[in-house]
C-alpha cells in the first residue's frame, strides 16, 4: 500500500481551513513550486513537488473529496495498509468501514486522458502532467479518478434522483480548458466513452452525456459534467479573460521597448510605450481562455537588486536632473 499523504501539510494549511484559505495557499505555493520557476537541473525535483501540490488541491478544493479524505483519516488508512489492503475495520473520526476495501464505495467512475488529443494535463517545461500522475495513495481512495471527476457520480441532478439524471464535476487545468479536445472516461459498466470538449470551455459549463445517468423505469437518465477550472500558478481567470503580471525594468518603462509576455499559446512579443507607469495594463485581444477573451497584462516596474558602478552613476545623474 502507498504511504499516507497529508494534503493539509502539503498545502500548508490547517484542517479547518476555509475554501478561500485553501485556494490562496495553493496559488502561493504554486508560484513557488512551479518547475518553470527553477533552473533546468532542478526541474525534476520541483515537478514532483508540483504534482503533490496539485493533487492536494484537487482533493481539498472539492467538498466531497475532502469529506471522504477526512473520514478516511491517517489512522484509518494505516490500519487498512497494515492489513495488507484487506483489514476488516478502519476507523477515523467515528466513521467506520466494515469488510474488504473501505474505500470501494467511493470508486465509482474513472477516466483516462487521451494522449495526443489535448488532455495531457498542465504543462511544465518538458514535463506533462495527467491523470496518470496522481499518486497511488490518491487512487487507493478515489479509484484513479485522475484530474477531477467528483467521486460521487450518483449525486442527483436538479431534476431529482427519480429522473435518473446525475451530475459530476469535471476539473480541468487551464491549458486543457483552453485547448479543448477529446477525453476518454470509463463508466462502472466497463463502457468507455469519448467526450469532446470545445476549445475555450468555460467554468460552469454543463456537458450532457445522453443515456449515461442512472437507470429508471422509464429508461436511462443523462449524465451532466460541470466544468471546473483549477487556479493557475501564473494566470488569473475571470470569465473568458485572463490576467497576468509581468515585470519590466525602469529603463523599459521610461524609454519604451519590446517585452516577452506569456500566453496559453506560448510567449508573444509586446511593445511597451515610453513613459509607462507602474501598474499599467495592456490588453491583448483574443489571447484569453477563448478567442472571445482577452489577456490583460499588468506591468510592474522592478529595480535591480544590485547595480554596477556605471548604473549607480547614471541613476545618480537622473536623480540630480529630476
Question: What residues contact residue 74 under an 8 Å CB cut-off, 6+ apart?
Answer: 4, 6, 92
If one counts every other C-beta atom within 10 angstroms of the C-beta of residue 210, the result is 9
Q: Tell me, yes or no, whether 86 lies in a domain.
A: yes
| CB-based burial label for 128 (10 Å; 0-12, 13-18, 19+) | middle
Using the 8-state DSSP alphabet, how is residue 46 labeled?
Answer: H
Residue 7 has pLDDT above 90, yes or no: yes
Co-location of 151 and 167 in the same domain: yes
Regarding whether 130 and 87 lie in a shared domain, the answer is yes
Pairing of strands 294-301, 281-285: antiparallel
Q: Is the pLDDT of residue 153 over 50?
A: no
Whether the per-residue pLDDT at 87 is higher than 50: the answer is no
114 in a structural domain:
yes
Q: What pLDDT, on the 0 to 100 scale, is given for residue 139?
A: 74
Q: What is the pLDDT of residues 10-32, one digit of tens each?
A: 999 999 999 999 999 998 888 88
What is the total count of domains within the chain?
A: 2
Q: Domain with 286 in it: what CATH number?
A: 2.60.260.20
Domain that holds residue 254: 236-321
Tens-digit pLDDT profile for residues 157-189: 344 444 678 777 788 889 989 998 887 766 555
Task: Pick the last residue of a domain from 184, 203, 229.
Answer: 229
Mark whether 140 and 28 lie in a shared domain: yes
Q: Specify the pairing of strand 241-248 against strand 294-301.
A: parallel
Distance (Å, rounded) from C-alpha 8 to C-alpha 76? 17
Q: Does any domain span residue 1?
A: no
Instruction: Assess whether 19 and 39 both reside in one domain.
Output: yes
Amino acid at each position: 500500500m502507498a504511504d499516507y499523504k497529508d494534503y493539509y501539510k502539503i498545502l500548508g494549511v490547517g484542517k479547518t481551513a476555509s475554501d478561500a484559505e485553501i485556494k490562496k495557499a495553493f496559488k502561493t505555493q504554486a508560484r513557488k513550486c512551479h518547475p518553470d520557476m527553477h533552473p533546468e537541473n532542478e526541474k525534476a525535483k520541483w515537478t514532483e513537488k508540483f504534482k503533490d501540490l496539485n493533487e492536494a488541491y484537487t482533493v481539498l478544493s472539492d467538498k466531497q473529496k475532502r469529506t471522504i479524505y477526512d473520514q478516511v483519516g491517517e489512522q484509518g488508512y494505516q490500519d487498512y495498509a497494515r492489513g495488507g489492503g484487506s483489514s476488516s475495520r478502519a476507523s477515523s473520526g467515528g466513521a467506520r468501514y466494515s469488510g474488504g476495501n473501505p474505500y470501494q464505495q467511493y470508486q465509482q467512475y474513472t477516466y483516462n486522458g487521451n494522449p495526443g488529443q489535448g488532455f495531457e494535463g498542465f504543462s511544465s517545461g518538458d514535463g506533462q502532467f495527467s491523470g496518470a500522475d496522481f499518486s497511488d495513495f490518491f487512487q487507493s481512495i478515489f479509484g484513479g479518478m485522475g484530474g477531477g471527476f467528483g467521486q460521487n457520480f450518483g449525486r442527483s441532478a436538479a431534476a431529482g434522483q427519480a429522473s435518473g439524471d446525475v451530475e459530476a464535476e469535471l476539473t480541468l487545468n487551464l491549458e486543457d480548458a483552453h485547448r479543448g479536445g477529446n477525453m476518454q472516461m470509463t463508466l462502472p459498466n466497463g463502457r468507455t466513452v469519448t467526450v469532446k470538449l470545445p476549445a475555450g470551455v468555460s467554468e460552469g459549463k454543463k456537458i450532457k452525456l445522453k443515456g449515461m445517468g442512472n437507470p429508471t423505469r422509464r429508461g436511462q437518465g443523462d449524465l451532466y459534467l460541470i466544468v471546473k477550472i483549477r487556479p493557475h500558478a501564473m494566470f488569473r481567470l475571470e470569465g473568458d479573460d485572463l490576467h497576468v503580471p509581468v515585470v519590466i525594468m525602469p529603463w523599459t518603462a521610461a524609454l519604451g521597448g519590446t517585452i516577452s509576455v506569456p500566453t496559453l499559446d506560448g510567449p508573444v512579443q509586446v511593445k511597451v510605450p515610453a513613459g509607462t507607469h507602474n501598474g499599467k495594463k495592456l490588453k491583448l485581444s483574443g489571447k484569453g481562455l477563448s478567442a472571445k477573451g482577452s489577456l490583460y497584462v499588468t506591468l510592474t516596474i522592478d529595480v535591480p537588486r544590485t547595480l554596477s558602478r556605471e548604473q549607480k552613476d547614471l541613476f545618480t545623474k537622473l536623480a540630480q536632473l529630476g
